[in-house]
């Protein structure tokens, strides 16, 4: 990244950190509205995904509402990444509530490794920060960008809460080390993946490939998979929900075990998304592996 551009980025972050909360949040709301107006291609992808899943059971008005909310939520991640640099744990607890934490506590008491799975849903930055500070320290997998300086900023911001960030390339070895130590790892498994690296599942009622990493690791290390999600509520309040644990499956048929575990996870994430569909990341071409034609026909790849 050009040094001048990076310095401008750092300067903007500094200004946003020091700005009154209402101005900072107003800025991101305005940016979200602008993004909705200009990102026509992304709006189209959102609409294609929604129509694929819900067909005639979703109105044009609801599609428009979800399109607008998608940009608000994406920028909310950035906003929270900045705000969490200075947030106190008291402020965090005043903003976030959690349901069914005892599900995680029970597995910790059993001294078993934990794999938390989640989707691009709600305010993921608040989810990560709260869990690391108040529930359990996580080893989290992140996607590396094309900008080293931005990656360093994101790692620093996220690790301030106590998490350990590892990039996707070469992440499996580090996840294995964490699980051997009976530590908790966190994976987001709701994005499109090719058949070579994933397992075919039914996701939101449609065929898709899903990362098999969590299923493979759970089977190998007797790790308990726990779905978790955070729901945005009014006035920048959030509710974390912990869902029933998915126990590891290990028979003589490894391929079938992985497929069964993968489908159980797909079911859990599908149910979470259907609780409040507007909070999921609809701009992603999630179903491209099996429904490529809808994207190629209606968008420019």
* DSSP conformation class of 19: S
Q: Are strands 198-203 and 206-211 parallel, antiparallel or unpaired?
A: antiparallel
* Consecutive H or E run containing 286: none
Nearest to 243 by CA among 96, 97, 98, 100: 100
Positive or negative, the CA dihedral 13, 19, 20, 22 is negative
pLDDT at 300: 53
Rounded CA-CA distance 232/145 in Å is: 26
Residues in the chain: 301
Give first-to-last CA distance, the chain, whole Å.
Answer: 25
Whether the Cβ atoms of residue 151 and residue 175 lie closer than 8 Å to each other: no
Report the 10 Å Cβ neighbour count for 127: 23
What pLDDT tens digit does each residue of the chain (301 aa) get? 667 777 888 899 999 999 999 999 999 999 999 999 999 999 999 999 999 999 999 999 999 999 999 999 999 999 999 999 999 999 999 999 999 999 999 999 999 999 999 999 999 999 999 999 999 999 998 887 777 778 888 888 888 888 898 887 778 999 999 999 999 999 999 999 988 889 999 999 999 999 999 999 999 999 999 999 999 999 999 999 999 999 999 999 999 999 999 999 999 999 999 999 999 999 999 999 999 999 987 655 4
pTM of the model: 0.93
Q: Are strands 198-203 and 164-167 parallel, antiparallel or unpaired?
A: unpaired
């Amino acid at each position: 990244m050009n040094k001048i551009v990076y310095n401008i980025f750092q300067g903007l972050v500094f200004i946003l950190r020091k700005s009154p909360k209402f101005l900072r949040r107003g800025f991101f709301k305005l940016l979200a509205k602008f993004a909705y107006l200009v990102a026509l291609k992304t709006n189209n992808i959102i609409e294609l995904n929604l129509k694929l899943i819900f067909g005639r059971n979703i109105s044009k008005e609801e599609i428009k509402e979800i399109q607008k909310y998608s940009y608000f939520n994406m920028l909310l991640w950035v906003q929270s990444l900045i705000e969490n640099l200075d947030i106190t744990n008291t402020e965090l607890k005043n903003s976030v509530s959690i349901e069914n934490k005892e599900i995680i506590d029970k597995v910790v008491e059993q001294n078993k490794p934990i794999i938390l799975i989640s989707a691009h849903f709600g305010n993921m930055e608040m989810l990560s920060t709260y869990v690391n500070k108040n529930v359990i320290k996580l080893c989290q997998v992140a996607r590396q960008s094309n900008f080293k300086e931005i990656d360093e900023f994101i790692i620093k911001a996220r690790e301030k809460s106590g998490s350990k960030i590892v990039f996707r390339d070469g992440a499996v070895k580090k996840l294995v080390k964490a699980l051997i130590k009976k530590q908790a790892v966190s994976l987001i498994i709701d994005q499109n993946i090719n058949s070579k690296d994933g397992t075919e599942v039914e996701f939101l009622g449609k065929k898709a490939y899903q990362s098999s990493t969590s299923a493979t690791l759970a089977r190998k290390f007797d790790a308990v998979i726990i779905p978790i999600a955070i729901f945005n509520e009014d006035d920048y309040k959030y509710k974390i929900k912990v869902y029933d644990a998915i126990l590891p499956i290990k028979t003589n048929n490894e391929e079938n075990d992985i497929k069964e575990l993968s489908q159980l996870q797909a079911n859990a994430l599908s149910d979470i998304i259907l609780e409040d569909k507007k909070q999921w990341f609809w701009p992603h071409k999630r179903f491209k592996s099996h429904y490529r034609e809808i994207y190629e026909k209606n968008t420019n790849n």
